[in-house]
Structures are given as C-alpha cells and as structure tokens.
Copies of this chain bind each other. A is one copy, B any other.
Amino acid sequence: MASTVIRLGGAPSPLTLLLNSYAALSADDAAAVEGALGEVRTHPVSTDFQLNEVHDQPMTLISGWAAETVLLEDGRRQIVRLLLPGDVIEPGEARRAGLSVTPLTAIRVGDARRLVALLNAAEGQLGRAWRRLRQAAQNRLVRHVVRLGRLSASDRTADLMLELHDRQRRAGVAAACTMHLPLTQEMLADHLGLSIVHVNRTLQQLRRDGLIYYQGGRAVINEPERLAAAAGFGR
C-alpha cells in the first residue's frame, strides 16, 4: 500500500485514497480526480429500490455501502459484490450481468461520468492505479468463488473480514484494527452463502476465539495474523 500523503483543500475523497493506495499519485493527478467528480446525490436504504433503475451512468460511492445482488425466484438472495466507499459503480455492467445494485445503508453517490472517462484515458501512475483497482475488484470476485466453494463458515467469515478491513484501510476509512461493518447478519448471510442463524453463531464463535468483535456497525480485528491463518489460504 503506497503511503504518499495527498494534500488538498478539503479531505481527499475515498476514491482518491483508493487509487493512491494502488499507485502513488502526484498532487496534480489527485486534484484531477477530485475535480472530475460530478453532482452528489443521496439515497436512503431500501430493500427493493434499485440504483441501476434510477441512474445508468457510472457513479462513485462517497459514503455508505451498497451491493450487487441476484434475487432467486424463491426469494433467496445472493450478494455477489459488496460496494464500499471509494468504489466505482457501473450500473450498465451490472445490468448486463443480471445484477441489481441495491443500497445496504443510506448512501451518497457522486456522478462519475467525467471521472471514468478521465481514468480510462489516464497514463502513468494514475492509469496504473486505475487498472490495478479494477484488477483488484476482479480478484475479489475470484476469491469469493473460492470462499464459497471451499471454505467453512467461519473461514469464509474471517476471510471476508480481512478483505473488508483491507479495502477500508486503502480507502482511508478504517483504523489499524477497527472498521465499519454496517451490515445486518442477514446481509452477511446473503453474501457468505449461509443462513442468518448460522452467521449469528459463526460470529459468536469468532468472538469467543478472540478474533473478531462485532457490534453496532463496527468490527474490531484483534490479531490479523491469527485471523488470516483461520481463513486458510494466502492473503
């Protein structure tokens, strides 16, 4: 994770920090990213509201969490991707893949049309950061397949926590051993491919083992190394 400090008038946006974590940006690059952000809108949390029915343009998530989901006929749901602050949402791509984009909390999104155009055309460090960021998103999907296919409930959960912590640290919204976790156990279940009840028991297990404390929208990771060992494959 690159450690260049970006100095601007206000606090840098999560996306700027995220890009900077993949390749150190110059002050000019950072300013260009900040400047390309368009109008900001707010959406409430909503079960059935679909972001991709409202906006069809790229957006960046400024605050709050969202998800790309699939709804099965019998009502079961699978969260395919979690979207965190700093992430770029592309409703068009989601729709082509049969996914709905749903807010999991209240969210603020910024119009990212100009931003995505800028990033796609970028060379040098900025272009590199953008490509790595996209590659990382793809890698997370691959890793999620492995989690669902081959890890036990507690390993899955542990591995997801490490992923979420890493992503939030990159985006500058998490401390060394604590992070936001604004998900209900039902949302976790829908992402991890488990039942609500079992997620509850798995979290209790991890807490008893001193690995993860989770309460009121925040989680504390005490010993990342031990947690990583629990997750059972390279991170």
User: Which residues from chain A sit less than 8 Å from chain B, CB to CB?
Assistant: 70, 72-74, 76-78, 80, 96-99, 135, 138-139, 141-146, 148-150, 191-193, 232-234
**Which residues in B have their C-beta under 8 angstroms from that of A145?**
78, 80, 141, 144-145, 148
Q: Which residue of B lies closest to A141 (CB)?
A: B141
**Which residues in B have their C-beta under 8 angstroms from that of A143?**
98
**Which residues in B have their C-beta under 8 angstroms from that of A97?**
135, 138-139, 142
Nearest 3 A/B pairs, CB to CB = A149-B193, A148-B148, A78-B149
- Distance (whole angstroms) from the CB of A173 to the closest CB of chain B: 25
The 8 Å CB contact of A80, one of B73, B74, B78, B146, is B146
- Distance (whole angstroms) from the CB of A16 to the closest CB of chain B: 23
Distance between Cα atoms of A168 and B234 in the complex (Å): 34
Contact between B150 and A98 (Cβ–Cβ < 8 Å)? no
Q: Which residue of B lies closest to A68 (CB)?
A: B142
**Which residues in B have their C-beta under 8 angstroms from that of A73?**
232-234
**Which residues in B have their C-beta under 8 angstroms from that of A148?**
145, 148-149, 193
Contact between A74 and B232 (Cβ–Cβ < 8 Å)? yes
- Distance (whole angstroms) from the CB of A198 to the closest CB of chain B: 13
The 8 Å CB contact of A99, one of B135, B142, B191, is B142
**Which residues in B have their C-beta under 8 angstroms from that of A232?**
72-74
Distance between Cα atoms of A193 and B150 in the complex (Å): 6
- Distance (whole angstroms) from the CB of A4 to the closest CB of chain B: 23
